[in-house]
Structure 1
Amino acid sequence: MNPPDEGVPDELPGVAPRLRDLRRSRGLTLETAAQRAGLSPAHLSRLETGRRQPSLPMLLGLARIYGTTVSELLGEQPPERDAIIRGGGFEGAEADGWMYRQAGGSGRAMQALRVRVPYGAQGDLVRVHPGEEWLYVLEGRLRVGLGDTVHDLEPGDSAHFDSLTPHRIAAVDRCGAELLFVHSLLQSPAAELCLGSGLHPR
């Protein structure tokens, strides 16, 4: 296995230059963007040069900061403000083990994804960031840790929480889990950018 600082193949072609270009177009230094995303400047630099592959939570955080969507970060360009999103399979959209498909329109403060969480993928990753999250289990069983409590969700169960609450999401069974996932930018600095009032430091 390569040490973290050595080159790693970019499994998400085109993401690295888009991350760099978006940061620069927002007038953010590497240090400022990294601080807002909860990353080290060195880690963000590796993401921007393609030497590290971003996880889905990292993409979500960077999308919030830059006032865009994960789909646009990955180079998917659906019609702007399209109200209808057709169903389909998970065609190669993957970030650090999680597979997803856009389930909502682009360029909005609320973003919706259909997510497949394989067993063992990112289960030990604790997330804390501005906004709200809502998820609904479609298939399999999902373990959601919120602060000090842990909940096992079955198909048909949902969770709605402030994402400043430390949270973990993992599949309980080896077959994985599939869910609808909605997150809001409204409590994030990027929401102000999306809504046209500029980006302000936290």
Structure 2
Amino acid sequence: MEQEFDLDSVVRQRIRGLRLARGWSLDALAARCRLSPSNLSRIETGQRRIALDQLVPIARALDTTLDQLVESADDEDVVIRPQACHTPGMTSWLLSRERSLHGVTVAKLRITAEHPTGSADLKVHPGHEWFTVLSGAARLHLGERVVLVRTGDAAEFSTMTPHAIGAHEGPVEILTILDHNGERTHLPTGADTH
């Protein structure tokens, strides 16, 4: 019974936290999920028991799933211990367990001079990519242009432009956010299984 109470409290906190993160008042969320503001307030504060028929419209209004709203709050999945995936000139670590709700993958890449970045290695795919340089300097090839991105700088670009990222004067470590197309194009096959 103690576990049910804890989960109930976590669900209430998630509802309130997601509402506040969107900048919504109780009235705004209540209107979206067709509950009265007073009922929603009592749900958030624990003065009313949460019923399944209320959770479904609340989850939908908050743009989340019922599973995510009620998933266990244990610490088992808090720390991700990424496994390195090695290819010639590049080591990658997936930092997101799976693609998130928004379809992105977060990865850390260490690129060395052995990683190919010639014109034959330029890739094109739908979407946008973003990365920030953690250490070293990255050579971002965008079609005919080469842009140096140094430690602490970030780059975002359309991936419909032929592109590749290489190391400049030594190894570079970057943190990148890739959509599904970027993940398939840039990360080694099977990287999403680590």
TM bucket, shorter chain: 0.3 to 0.5
Tell me the TM-score normalized by structure 2.
0.47
Pick the structure with more helix per residue.
2
